[in-house]
Amino acid sequence: MSLECKVLVFLNNLTEKKIETIRNSLEPDNVDFPENLSFKIENDKYSLVFTFDGKGNIQTVISTIDEVLEQTQIILRVIE
């Protein structure tokens, strides 16, 4: 039996400029993901939603989420 998970992370109350900056900074890294792992960024006017889908090794999913959130924090610190 293979473990499957889907994790959604919501970043709310962001300005349009912050949303655009985060998306533009993260999307170039959204390539060459490990097999059975995907990452998608969606947004509306004031929020970003990160969707992580993983099958198999849950530690890989956790590490990827941690890395994306760490990068997001750095981006927000730089632009503030």
Q: Is domain 4-79 given the CATH code 1.10.600.10 in the classification?
A: no
Q: What order of strands is seen across the sheet that includes strand 4-11?
A: 4-11, 48-55, 37-43
Rounded distance, CA 36 to CA 47, Å? Answer: 26
Higher local confidence (pLDDT), 32 or 75: 75
pLDDT in tens, 35-77: 889 999 999 889 999 999 999 888 888 999 999 999 999 999 9
How high is the pLDDT of residue 44? 85
Is the confidence at residue 32, as pLDDT, over 80? no
Position of tokens 């994790």?
Answer: 7
For 48, the 3-state DSSP assignment is strand
Confidence grade of residue 1 (pLDDT, cut at 50, 70, 90): low
- Ranges of H-type helices in the chain: 16-26, 58-79
